[in-house]
Amino acid sequence: MTHSTLNPNTQKTAGGALARREIAREVATVLLEGFNKHYRLFRAASQEARRLWETREWLKLQQATTERIAFYDQRVVEATEELETKFSAGALDGETWQLIKLEYICLLIEHKQPELAESFFNSVCCKILHRTYFNNDFIFVRPGVSTEHIPSDPPAYRCYYPLKSGLRQSIHDVITDFGLQLPFQDLKRDLRRLIRRWRDLLPSPLVLEANHQIQILSSLFFRNTSAYLIGKVINGSQSHPFVIAIMQDQVGKLYIDTVLLEAEHLAVMLNSSRAYFMVDMEVPSAYVTFLRTLLPNKSKAELYSILGLQKQGKTLFYRDFLHHLAHSTDDFVIAPGIKGLVMAVFTLPSYPYVFKVIKDVIAPPKQINREQVKAKYQLVKRHDRVGRMADTLEYSNVAFPKSRFSQELLKELRDLAPSLLEEDEHTIVLRHLYIERRMVPLNIYLDKANDDQRTHALNEYGLAVKELAKANIFAGDLLFKNFGVTRYNRVIFYDYDEIDYITNCNFRRIPAPRNEEDEMAAEPWYSINPNDIFPEEFETFLLTDPRARAIFKQQHDDLFSAEEWKIIQSSLQSGEVPEVIPYPENIRFRNRYATDLAAPLRQLRNAESPKHQTMSNHPEGYDDGQGRPAPFGRFSIDTD
- Whether the ω angle into residue 349 lies within 30 degrees of 0, i.e. cis, is no
What is residue 331's predicted lDDT score, i.e. its pLDDT? 97
Residue 202 in this model has a pLDDT that exceeds 90: no
What is residue 427's predicted lDDT score, i.e. its pLDDT? 92
Q: What average pLDDT does range 183-205 have in this prediction?
A: 89
What is residue 247's predicted lDDT score, i.e. its pLDDT? 97
- State the chain's mean pLDDT as an integer: 87
Q: Model-level pTM?
A: 0.87
DSSP 195: H
What is residue 131's predicted lDDT score, i.e. its pLDDT? 59
- In single-letter form, the type of residue at position 319 comes to R
What is residue 16's predicted lDDT score, i.e. its pLDDT? 67
Closest among 404, 392, 400, 438 to 322, alpha carbons compared? 400
Residue with the bigger pLDDT between 598 and 171: it is 171
pLDDT digits (tens, 9 = 90+) for 48-105: 999 999 999 999 999 999 999 999 999 999 999 999 999 999 899 888 999 999 999 9
DSSP 256: E
From the number of C-beta atoms within 10 Å of its C-beta (0-12, 13-18, 19+), residue 329 rates as: exposed
What is residue 627's predicted lDDT score, i.e. its pLDDT? 39
What is residue 626's predicted lDDT score, i.e. its pLDDT? 38
Can you tell me the distance from the alpha carbon of 77 to that of 100, in angstroms, rounded to the nearest whole number? 19
pLDDT digits (tens, 9 = 90+) for 582-612: 999 999 999 998 776 444 444 333 333 333 3
Three-class SS of residue 147? coil
Name residue 401's beta-bridge partners: 427
pLDDT digits (tens, 9 = 90+) for 290-310: 999 999 999 999 999 999 999
Residue 139 has phi, psi (to 5 degrees) of: -125, 175
What is residue 575's predicted lDDT score, i.e. its pLDDT? 85
Percentage with pLDDT > 70 across the chain: 89
Residues 6 or more apart in contact with residue 121 via CB below 8 angstroms: 31, 35, 101, 104, 139, 140
H or E element: which one contains 206?
A: strand 206-207
- Whether the ω angle into residue 8 lies within 30 degrees of 0, i.e. cis, is no
Residues constituting the chain: 640
What is residue 437's predicted lDDT score, i.e. its pLDDT? 93
Exposure of 37 in the CB half-sphere (CA atoms within 13 A): 16
Can you tell me the distance from the alpha carbon of 574 to that of 559, in angstroms, rounded to the nearest whole number? 21
Q: Are 439 and 485 in contact (CB under 8 A)?
A: yes
DSSP 346: E
Can you tell me the distance from the alpha carbon of 268 to that of 385, in angstroms, rounded to the nearest whole number? 13
Percentage with pLDDT > 90 across the chain: 70
How many other C-beta atoms lie within 10 A of the C-beta of residue 531? 11
Residue 2 in this model has a pLDDT that exceeds 50: no
H or E element: which one contains 401?
A: strand 393-401
Can you tell me the distance from the alpha carbon of 25 to that of 99, in angstroms, rounded to the nearest whole number? 8
How many other C-beta atoms lie within 10 A of the C-beta of residue 339? 13
> What distance separates the 2 farthest-apart alpha carbons in the chain?
95
Residue 221 in this model has a pLDDT that exceeds 80: yes
What is residue 176's predicted lDDT score, i.e. its pLDDT? 96
Residue with the bigger pLDDT between 491 and 94: it is 491
Closest among 523, 587, 534, 543 to 565, alpha carbons compared? 534
pLDDT digits (tens, 9 = 90+) for 100-156: 999 999 999 999 999 999 999 999 998 888 655 445 567 888 888 999 999 998 899
Residue 378 in this model has a pLDDT that exceeds 80: yes
Three-class SS of residue 538? helix
Catalytic residues: 391
pLDDT band at 324 (very low <50, low <70, confident <90, very high): very high
Three-class SS of residue 260? strand
Q: What average pLDDT does range 260-275 have in this prediction?
A: 92
Can you tell me the distance from the alpha carbon of 292 to that of 626, in angstroms, rounded to the nearest whole number? 39
DSSP 276: P
Cα end-to-end span (Å), the chain? 64
What is residue 515's predicted lDDT score, i.e. its pLDDT? 78
Three-class SS of residue 486? coil
Three-class SS of residue 221? strand
What is residue 175's predicted lDDT score, i.e. its pLDDT? 96
Q: What average pLDDT does range 389-409 have in this prediction?
A: 94
- Directed axis angle between helix 167-176 and helix 187-201, to 10°? 120
Taken in order 395, 396, 402, 406, the sign of the CA dihedral is positive
Residue 517 in this model has a pLDDT that exceeds 80: no
Can you tell me the distance from the alpha carbon of 70 to that of 67, in angstroms, rounded to the nearest whole number? 6
Q: Are 623 and 630 in contact (CB under 8 A)?
A: yes
pLDDT band at 511 (very low <50, low <70, confident <90, very high): confident
